[in-house]
Chains A and B, each alone.
Chain A
Amino acid sequence: MNELSASSRITYRAVMVRPGVARRIRGLSDRTLAWLFITPTIVLLLAINIFPLLWTIYLSFTNYRANRANVPTIWLGADWYQSILTDPDIWAAMQVTAHFVIWTVVIETVLGFGLAYLIDKKFRGHGMWTTIILLPMMLSPAVVGNFWTFLYQPQIGLFNYVVAFFTGRAASSFQMLGDVTLSPWAIVIVDTWMWTPYVMLICLAGLRSIPDYIYEAAEVDRASKWRQFWSITLPMALPFIMLAVLFRGIENFKMFDMVNLLTGGGPGSTTEVASITLKRAAFESWRTGYSSAFAIILFVTVFGLANIYVKALNKVKSR
């Protein structure tokens, strides 16, 4: 920080020496400039994120309904929280979310790490193929969800045709999106298709951060490849894997767009992940107070996980 204050002193002297129209701007101290630069962002976030958040907290203690704004608002205390946290239906939605989060994260991590491990072998053309693999994660989840409904069509869909081709079952004998047991897996498949590249990319960075000399030392010690993998590769890539797992976990915990387009929560409520339950309560039955309380519960969970995520982020950064 010393050289910084020294340089600003020099600036100041320069301003004193040269009188000019821009003197007022030039005379700004670093401190003022710092606030000038940072304040607009903070103000925007306060207006669009924090003020609404505080409003949500307030609403979560009331019986407010957005479609009946004239009804006098009554303070309910923590009633909504109590009813949500004892409601077996919401609990069931959390388990649907858990199924989705756990399976997508596990499959994506295994596939993503495997792919990264293979790409790290630097075969010819690996750059181009990596870019191709990365494409799905850049696409709009909603549009992806929508076109997968086409692939999942029982009569005409490509997915059913391919499964039928390899298993010998009739293509119209199963419905990925209409079947109670298959639909939770249908959303897992699409999410895996879309987000495995994400995990792959981060794992690849982890693998590339391992310096060659460690492997060379292990080679000198005659450690087997298998041993090298378990005692060097995996432990050293672990912070990166954790980072990917946490981020995918958070993202899929609040998953809305793709699932909404694929199944809309159906059939019944077998794919009704938390965000879809929330959307139904907030924008279909207009129970604003109730859904605000639910939103706060989801928000606190995500916020807690975000703390851990930033910790993991800093760990990786120091590498």
Chain B
Amino acid sequence: MTSATTAHSVVEPSATTRRFAGSLVVLYAIITMIPLVWIMLTAFKSPDDAISYPPKVMFKPSLEGFCNLFTTRSRQTPEFIRSLGSPQGLCDSIARSRNMVVAGPSNYVPRFVNSLIIAFGSTVLAVALGTLSAYGFSRFRVPLKDDLLFFILSTRMMPPIAVAIPIYLMYRTIGLSDTRLGMILLYTSVNVSLAVWLLKGFIDEIPREYEEAAMIDGYTRFQAFVKVVLPQATTGIAATAIFCLIFAWNEYAFAVLLTSGNAQTAPPFIPIIIGEGGQDWPAVAAGTTLFLVPIVVFTVLLRKHLLRGITFGAVRK
């Protein structure tokens, strides 16, 4: 389209309208970013700067929040600290300036690792099951197809607390409570519904003719699925995987009710990071920041497919 036709088109908004709309949207975007930016700034503040009034925008950056996040510390007398010799590493010297010594690592890393294992485990399972089912629903005549699809979707709609009551009892009976395997299975079951619906949309878009051509060339249906459909669906599978990953990463209700130590993920852990005399806000902010960074990256990667993801594949743009 040339600029001349754009100028004459009746549906194209004028330059003034655009600038006006743009500035309002940018204003909203900036306001909406303030809480996020604030929490990320807080992660780099010293505890005194974090709770100062009025809130400080300019401050001397400190890694104390991160140190407090990763370590546990114990208070000691100045004489004892002086007898220790030179501090080992940055965190130790920060702790010593507050009359404390580093006692050991905190639980944040194990919780973060749990989050990683459970999120990736459930994503792989959900996407694998989802791809197979989505292909089945997309290409074959399945009896009660619509009912099965609705049933699959409705499982995702259930209130998590309502599901957690019997799951708690069931896991207690079969010994899956507070295990990573239990959480992986649970998150898989929640994610598989999204995976089926999303992937069905993606697979529906791959022309059947490709497989049929392959099958005329002597491929079986299964070979055609593996060698023709799967490569075509890579983008869809990747997008679905990221959605499942984000859900499992963010989930809180099941995690807080069904895990206590072993399999606890980061979301229930971050709020209970307590320092001396109340919540240690820089440490909480540091934990939050580290936890949110992967999501920010994923959101940017996913931006083209977000709409599909949040409407279970129905709206494709």
A contacts, CB < 8 Å to B: 1, 3-4, 7-8, 10-11, 14-15, 18, 22, 25-26, 28, 30-31, 33-38, 40-42, 44-45, 47-53, 55-56, 59, 66, 115, 118-119, 121-127, 129-143, 146-148, 150-151, 155-158, 161, 171, 193, 196-198, 201-202, 204-205, 208, 212, 215-216, 219, 240, 243, 247, 250, 253-254, 256-257, 260-261, 275, 278-279, 282-283, 288, 291-292, 295-296, 298-299, 302-303, 305-307, 309-310, 313-314, 316-317
- B198-239 contacts to A (CB < 8 Å): 208, 211-212, 215-216, 218-223
State whether B306 touches A134 (Cβ < 8 A). yes
Considering only residues 137-167 of chain B, those with a C-beta below 8 Å from chain A are: 137, 139-142, 148, 150-155, 157-167
A265-B87 Cα distance, complex, nearest whole Å: 45
A201 touches B152 (CB 8 A): no
Cβ of A122 and Cβ of B18 under 8 Å apart? yes
B84 at interface by CB-CB < 8 Å: no
**A157 and B21 alpha carbons, distance in the complex (Å):** 31
Nearest-neighbour CB distance to chain B for A90, whole angstroms, equals 14
Chain A to chain B contacts (Cβ below 8 Å), 8 pairs: A38-B132, A44-B189, A115-B28, A140-B252, A254-B159, A260-B253, A278-B162, A282-B164
Question: Please, which residue of chain A has its CB at the minimum distance from the CB of B168?
Answer: A66
Asked whether B55 lies within 8 Å of A44 as measured between CB atoms, the reply is no
Q: Tell me how far the C-beta of B60 lies from the nearest C-beta in chain A, rounded to whole angstroms.
A: 18
Bound Cα distance A258, B140 (Å)? 41
Residue from B50, B193, B212 within 8 A of A7 (CB atoms): B212
Please indicate the chain A residues that have their CB under 8 angstroms from the CB of B58 in the complex. none
Taken together as a complex, chains A and B put the C-alpha atoms of A136 and B161 apart, in Å, by: 23
> Judging by beta carbons under 8 Å apart, are A48 and B185 in contact?
yes
The answer to whether B165 and A282 touch across the interface, beta carbons within 8 angstroms, is yes
Interface residues of B in 245-271 (CB under 8 A from A): 246, 249-253, 256-257, 267-268, 270-271
Instruction: Select which of A41, A129, A198, A303 is within 8 A of B25 by beta carbon.
Output: A129
Q: Are A38 and B220 in contact (CB under 8 A)?
A: no
**Interface size in chain B (residues, C-beta < 8 A):** 112
Return the chain A residue nearest B257 by Cβ: A283
A216 close to B10 (CB less than 8 A): yes
User: What's the minimum C-beta distance from B203 to chain A, rounded to whole angstroms?
Assistant: 11
Which of A59, A247, A310 counts the most chain B CB atoms within 10 A?
A310
Q: In the bound complex, what is the Cα–Cα distance between A66 and B189 (angstroms)?
A: 24
- Of A7, A196, A250, A296, most buried by chain B (CB within 10 Å of CB) is A7
Please judge, given known A-B contacts A18-B218, A156-B55, whether A143 and B18 are in contact too, CB under 8 Å.
no
Q: Roughly how many angstroms separate A125 CA and B23 CA in the complex, as a whole number?
A: 11
- Inter-chain CA distance A253–B158, complex, in Å, is 11
Which residue of A has the minimal Cβ distance to B149?
A: A310
CA distance A250 to B36 in the complex (A): 26
Q: What separation, in Å, do the CA atoms of A283 and B168 have in the docked complex?
A: 10
B132 touches A37 (CB 8 A): yes
Closest 5 A/B residue pairs (Cβ): A123-B22, A142-B252, A52-B166, A295-B162, A37-B136
Verify if B3 is at the interface (C-beta below 8 Å from A): no
Residues on B with C-beta less than 8 A from A161 are: 53-55
Which residues of B, 48-89, contact A by the 8 Å Cβ criterion? 50-55
A316 touches B314 (CB 8 A): yes
Question: Which residues in A have their C-beta under 8 angstroms from that of B256?
Answer: 142, 260
A147 interface neighbour in B17, B39, B160, Cβ under 8 Å = B39
Closest Cβ of chain A: how far from B120's Cβ, in Å?
16
The 8 Å CB contact of B36, one of A4, A135, A196, is A135
In Å, the complex CA distance between A294 and B164 comes to 13
A262 to chain B, nearest CB (A): 10
Please tell me if the beta carbons of A306 and B154 are within 8 angstroms of each other in the complex.
Answer: yes
List chain B residues, Cβ under 8 A from A216. 10-11
Chain A contacts for B158, CB-based, 8 A = 49, 53, 299, 302-303
The answer to whether B284 touches A150 (Cβ under 8 A) is yes
B169 CB within 8 Å of chain A: yes
A146→B10 contact, CB < 8 A: no
**Closest approach, in angstroms, between the C-beta of B167 and any C-beta of chain A?**
5
Interchain CB contact under 8 A, B285 and A257 = no
Query: Once the chains bind, are B165 and A131 in contact (CB under 8 Å)?
Result: no
Nearest A residue to B268 via CB reads: A142
Chain A residues whose C-beta falls within 8 Å of the C-beta of B168 in the assembled complex: 66, 283
**Is A1's CB under 8 angstroms from B28's CB?**
no
Which residue from chain A places its CB closest to the CB of B160 in the assembled complex?
A256
Residues of A within 8 A of B166 (CB): 51-53, 55-56, 59, 292
CA distance A121 to B18 in the complex (A): 6
Residues of A contacting B50 with CB < 8 Å?
156
Please determine whether A282 and B161 come into contact, CB atoms closer than 8 angstroms.
yes
> Do B11 and A44 have beta carbons less than 8 Å apart?
no
Nearest Cβ distance between residue B294 and chain A, in whole angstroms?
10
Is A306 a contact of B292 with CB atoms below 8 Å? no
Residues of A within 8 A of B196 (CB): 41
Taken together as a complex, chains A and B put the C-alpha atoms of A4 and B38 apart, in Å, by: 57
Which single residue of chain A is at the shortest CB-CB distance from B315? A205
Q: Which residue of A lies closest to B273 (CB)?
A: A146
Contact across chains for A38 and B137 when beta carbons are under 8 A apart: yes
